[in-house]
C-alpha cells in the first residue's frame, strides 16, 4: 500500500480566530535544526496531552514530557529533511463540542503548508493529544497518525462514538499500555476495530504490563514511533512487526504485542 493521503472525509474543524482578540496556537522552531541545503521531506506535528476541560493556557510541562520523543523523531529524519514541531495549544483543554485542540491541529497543519509547501504531515499525539491526532486526520496534508495512549470518551457514559471516516487513506498506528489506568486501552481497541473496517491501513500495538506513561518500554515505544513516522512520511519500508500488524486481520493486528527490545536491530 502507498503512503499517500486520501481525500478529506469530514468537515474541517473551525479554525482559531486570527483577529488578535485571543491567543493563537504556535509551532515555534523545529526541535532538530535542518541540515543546510536539505529540502523538507515531511513534518511531524507532536501533540501533547491536555485536560478534558480547561480554558487556561497549557502548562509547559505537557510539552516538555514529549521533548525526548520529538528530538528522537527529528534526529531519525534529519538527513531527509523531516521537521518536527511540538504544537502549542491556545488552551489546555478539549472543551467538549468545541474540540479546541482539533482546531489548533488544523491550524498547525495549515501553517506547515505556509512554511514548507506541499509536504506530508504525520500527527503524533499522546493522551488527549492522541485523540486530537485521530480526530484531525482529515486535513488534506495529513498522511499518517500515531496515537500514543489516546484518551477517548467512554461509550458507557453515552458519549457518541468517535468518528473514524477521516482516517480513510491515512496510515494509522495506535499504541497503548495494557495497565493504563488513566486512559482505557479497551476504548482504543474498540476505536481501532471501527477504524480498521473503514481503513485497512490501521494497526494497534499493546505494551503489556505498562502504564499510561509507558516508562518501562520507553525505548521500544520511541523506536516504534520512529519506524512508523519515517516509513509513512518518507516511504521507507516498515519493520516486519509493523508490516505484520497492518496486514493481519482483527483482532490480531489490533492487539499486536510490542516486544521487549523492539528497535535494537533497526538502523
What is the per-residue pLDDT across 115-142, written as a single tens digit (0 to 9) for each?
999 999 999 999 999 999 999 999 999 9
pLDDT in tens, 171-188: 999 999 999 999 999 999
Which residues, including other chains, have CB under 8 Å from residue 54's CB and lie 6 or more apart?
91, 92, 93, 95
pLDDT of residue 107: 97
Give percent of the chain with pLDDT exceeding 90.
79
Helices 240-247 + 218-234 axis angle, to 10: 70
Which residue, among 217, 184, 190, 205, has the nearest Cα to 248 in the 3D structure? 205
Q: What is the mean pLDDT of residues 254-266?
A: 88
41: pLDDT strictly greater than 60: yes
Q: What angle do CA 144, 148, 149 make, to 5 degrees?
A: 140
The verdict on residue 23 lying in a domain is no
Which residue, among 126, 139, 190, has the nearest Cα to 167 in the 3D structure? 139
Give percent of the chain with pLDDT exceeding 70.
88
The verdict on residue 131 lying in a domain is yes
What is the number of other CB atoms lying within 10 angstroms of the CB of residue 170? 26
Q: What is the CATH number of the domain that holds 243?
A: 3.40.50.1820
5: pLDDT strictly greater than 70: no
The verdict on residue 26 lying in a domain is no
Strand intervals (E) in 157-253: 171-177, 202-207
The verdict on residue 222 lying in a domain is yes
The verdict on residue 183 lying in a domain is yes
The verdict on residue 247 lying in a domain is yes
Helices 67-77 + 218-234 axis angle, to 10: 40
Which residue, among 64, 27, 63, 67, has the nearest Cα to 43 in the 3D structure? 27
The verdict on residue 52 lying in a domain is yes
Structural domain tally of the chain? 1
Whole-prediction pTM: 0.90
pLDDT of residue 20: 36
155: pLDDT strictly greater than 80: no
Which residue, among 260, 249, 46, has the nearest Cα to 147 in the 3D structure? 46
Which residue, among 150, 126, 149, has the nearest Cα to 49 in the 3D structure? 126
pLDDT of residue 231: 98
Domain that includes residue 75, residue range? 42-257
pLDDT of residue 189: 97
Which residue, among 7, 42, 12, has the nearest Cα to 199 in the 3D structure? 7
**137: phi then psi, degrees, rounded to nearest 5:** -65, -15
The verdict on residue 130 lying in a domain is yes
Q: Which three cell numbers stand for residue 147?
A: 496515537
14: pLDDT strictly greater than 80: no
81: pLDDT strictly greater than 70: yes
Q: Which three cell numbers stand for residue 88?
A: 502549542
19: pLDDT strictly greater than 80: no
* Separation of first and last alpha carbons in the chain: 23
229: pLDDT strictly greater than 50: yes
23: pLDDT strictly greater than 80: no
Residue in the structure block whose three cell numbers are 483482532: 251
Element (H, E) at 82: strand 82-86
Based on its alpha-carbon atoms, the radius of gyration of the chain, rounded to whole angstroms, reads 17
Confidence tier at 33 by pLDDT (50, 70, 90) = confident
CB 123 within 8 A of CB 114: no
Q: What is the mean pLDDT of residues 49-63?
A: 92
pLDDT of residue 156: 52
Amino acid at each position: 500500500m502507498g503512503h499517500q493521503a486520501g481525500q478529506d472525509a469530514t468537515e474541517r474543524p473551525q479554525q482559531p480566530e486570527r483577529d488578535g482578540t485571543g491567543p493563537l496556537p504556535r509551532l515555534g522552531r523545529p526541535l532538530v535544526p535542518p541540515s543546510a541545503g536539505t529540502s523538507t521531506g515531511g513534518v511531524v506535528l507532536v501533540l501533547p496531552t491536555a485536560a478534558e476541560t480547561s480554558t487556561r493556557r497549557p502548562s509547559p510541562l505537557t510539552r516538555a514530557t514529549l521533548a525526548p520523543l520529538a528530538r528522537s523523531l527529528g534526529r531519525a529524519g534529519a538527513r531527509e529533511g523531516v521537521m518536527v514541531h511540538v504544537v502549542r495549544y491556545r488552551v489546555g483543554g478539549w472543551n467538549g463540542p468545541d474540540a479546541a485542540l482539533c482546531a489548533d491541529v488544523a491550524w498547525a497543519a495549515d501553517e506547515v503548508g505556509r512554511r514548507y509547501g506541499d509536504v506530508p504531515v504525520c500527527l503524533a499525539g499522546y493522551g488527549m493529544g492522541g485523540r486530537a491526532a485521530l480526530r484531525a486526520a482529515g486535513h488534506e496534508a495529513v498522511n499518517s497518525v500515531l496515537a500514543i495512549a489516546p484518551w477517548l470518551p467512554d461509550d458507557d457514559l453515552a458519549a457518541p462514538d468517535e468518528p473514524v471516516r477521516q482516517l480513510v487513506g491515512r496510515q494509522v498506528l495506535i499504541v497503548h499500555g495494557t495497565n493504563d489506568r488513566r486512559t482505557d486501552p479497551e476504548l482504543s481497541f474498540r476505536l481501532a476495530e471501527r477504524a480498521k473496517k473503514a481503513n485497512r491501513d490501521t494497526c494497534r500495538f499493546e505494551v503489556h504490563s505498562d502504564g499510561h506513561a509507558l516508562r518501562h518500554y520507553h525505548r521500544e515505544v520511541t523506536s516504534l514511533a520512529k519506524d512508523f513516522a519515517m516509513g509513512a512520511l518518507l516511504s521507507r519500508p516498515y519493520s516486519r512487526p509493523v508490516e505484520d500488524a497492518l496486514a493481519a486481520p482483527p483482532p490480531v493486528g489490533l492487539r499486536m504485542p510490542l516486544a521487549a527490545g523492539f528497535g535494537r536491530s533497526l538502523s
